[in-house]
Amino acid sequence: MTAPFGLLLPASIVISFLASSSAPTPLYAAYADRWHFSPITTTVVFGTYCIAVLAALLVLGRVSDHLGRKPVLLGALTLQIAAMAVFSEAGGIGALFAGRILQGIGTGSALGALGAAMLDVDRERGTRANAVAPGLGSGIGALASGLIVQYLPAPTRLVYLAFIGVFLVQALGVALQPETAGRRPGLRAALKPELAVPRHLRHLLLAVAPVLFAVWSLGGFYGSLAPALARRLSGSDSAVIGGLGLFVLTVVSSAAIVAIARVPAGTVMLLGITLLVLGSLSTLLAVEASSVTGFFAGTLVSGIGFGAGFQGGMRTVVPLAADHERAGVLSSLYVICYLGMGLPAVVAGTLVVYGGGLPTATRDYSLFVVTLALATLITLLRMRGRTRPANSASAAHDDAHRAPSPNR
């Protein structure tokens, strides 16, 4: 099997999983009007998905290192199909929670296995695909859902039925594709909830954790409250406008990842955090000025920062994981990401209702992201001056390609 072909299927599954996770974003306004719930409920539904992903990452994230990639992926695709079926027949808020839980478990159980499967085929391209695919999927899902809601009949059913078709095709592909990882003992121990980070990677994970948390906290805002903000600033109730903010953020981030793929990881992280600060401040000023153009301009800058920060963090840690460590390491990184995405978003929803409304919540959220990003930037500059972890990682990565790992 050639490397590009072997990467294509797992990358497409990451894209479709993340696309389906963002598909409800443009629909939240319709759900809220139909079932009369507040922004707090919107962010709690969003946060429920993040919690389910976290639980699955902690409990199931390492299973594919022991059971193999294919059984885990087939199980995850089955859960995703069930989640789409629940969403398509949703008759109340309870169905949204149920669908989000199923979806979160399916996504969390698969992310580590999918990322590891890409690394099994090609370490360098797999690392890049791991960074590009989530953003690309989130953006495609938000925009496609918005277009379906705006222009096609039965939008609250059609988008989910379309994903069921995609998942069925991908399940067939997984069933036909060769296994890339053999069975290993220790499955029962792997089910114990923990962050599976090998000792030799822990200092690097601690270095990149604030970066990942900061950039994904911005993603949480765009996945929960930004659609309502974009409609308010534009004076339009278009579902396309509602999904456009997340689309711009994530697709620009994916383009940035490709553009700076050869830049050293440490430099990329510094660039990402700096642009995250500038983008968040630009968005804050746009909200104060009620400028939808300024909002999307700030989103574009933030998107570059998101992509750079996420890629820099992944490239610092992921290539150094041994074959049998890959799913666990990737799952640990995604735990940090989803904590950053879920917790601040729920707090923001509370602020919308009890803290002065959507503009005030946006201001407070932007200031939170800026403060977190500045603290992270200071930490990175200090670490860069003392230990230069990115350079060490690059050297170790080169060594890993020159000689077999003793752990393999």
Following DSSP, what letter does each residue of 159-203 receive, concatenated?
Answer: HHHHHHHHHHHHHHHHHHSPPSS---S-HHHHTS------GGGHH
Query: Of 74-88, 194-208, 303-317, 366-380, which one has max mean pLDDT?
Result: 74-88
Q: What is the mean pLDDT of residues 396-405?
A: 40
For the chain, give the longest Cα–Cα distance: 61
C-alpha to C-alpha distance for 299 and 276, rounded to whole angstroms? 9
What is the per-residue pLDDT for 390?
44
Cβ count within 10 A of residue 328: 24
Domain boundaries, the chain: 3-178+196-402
C-alpha to C-alpha distance for 162 and 147, rounded to whole angstroms? 13
C-alpha to C-alpha distance for 263 and 343, rounded to whole angstroms? 31
User: With 70 as the cut, is the pLDDT of residue 396 above it?
Assistant: no
Of the listed ranges 118-122, 177-181, 393-397, 398-402, the one predicted with least confidence? 398-402
Name the band, by pLDDT with cuts 50, 70 and 90, for residue 5.
Answer: low
Percent helix, strand, coil in the chain, to 5, is 85, 0, 15
User: With 90 as the cut, is the pLDDT of residue 381 above it?
Assistant: no
Q: What is the mean pLDDT of residues 290-305?
A: 93
Q: What is the mean pLDDT of residues 18-36?
A: 85
Residue 227 near residue 28 (C-beta atoms within 8 A) = yes
User: With 90 as the cut, is the pLDDT of residue 121 above it?
Assistant: no
What is the per-residue pLDDT for 295?
93
Name the band, by pLDDT with cuts 50, 70 and 90, for residue 189.
Answer: low
C-alpha to C-alpha distance for 211 and 53, rounded to whole angstroms? 20
Name the band, by pLDDT with cuts 50, 70 and 90, for residue 408.
Answer: very low
Pick 3-178+196-402's CATH classification: 3.30.70.890, 2.170.150.20, 3.40.50.1100, 1.20.1250.20: 1.20.1250.20
User: With 60 as the cut, is the pLDDT of residue 402 above it?
Assistant: no
Residue 18 near residue 114 (C-beta atoms within 8 A) = no
Query: Residue 19: what residue type?
Result: A
What is the per-residue pLDDT for 86?
96
What is the per-residue pLDDT for 1?
46
Q: What is the mean pLDDT of residues 225-236?
A: 87
Q: CA 311, 114, 106: angle at the middle one, nearest 5? A: 110
